[in-house]
Amino acid sequence: MTVEVALQTLLSALLTGCIYALIAVGFTLVFGVLDIVNFAHGNVAMLAMFATYVLFHAFGLDPYVSALILAPSFFLLGLALYQGLFKKLVELPHSTHIMVTLGLMIGTDNLANFIFGADLRGVNTSYTTASVVLGDISLQVARAMAAGVAVVVVSGIALFLKYTDFGKSIRAAASNRLGAKVCGINVERVYLISVALAVAAAALAGTVMMPYYLVSPVTGHEFLNKAFAITVVGGMGSFGGALVASLIVALVEAFGGLLLSPTLANAIVFGLLILVLLFRPSGLFGQRPIH
| Residue 244's CATH number | 1.10.3470
Domain that holds residue 15: 3-279
pLDDT in the model for residue 3: 85
Report H helices in the chain: 3-34, 41-59, 63-81, 87-89, 94-116, 141-163, 165-175, 177-182, 187-209, 219-234, 239-259, 265-279
Structural domain includes residue 291: no
Alpha-carbon separation of residue 29 from 85, 166, 178 (angstroms): 17, 14, 18
Position 244 in a domain: yes
Write down the pLDDT at residue 101.
96
**Residue 26, SS3 per DSSP:** helix
176 part of a folded domain: yes
Does any domain span residue 26? yes
Q: What is the structure's pLDDT at 239?
A: 80
Residue range 186-212, pLDDT digits in tens: 999 999 999 999 999 999 999 999 999
Return the DSSP state at 178. H
Instruction: Check residue 285 and give its pLDDT.
Output: 78
For position 288, what pLDDT does the model report?
46
In a domain, residue 66? The reply is yes
Q: Is residue 193 a part of any domain in this protein?
A: yes
Give the model's confidence band at 237: pLDDT under 50 very low, under 70 low, under 90 confident, else very high: confident
Decide if 133 is inside a domain: yes
Number of domains in the chain: 1
Q: What is the mean pLDDT of residues 46-61?
A: 97
Residue 288 falls within a domain, yes or no? no
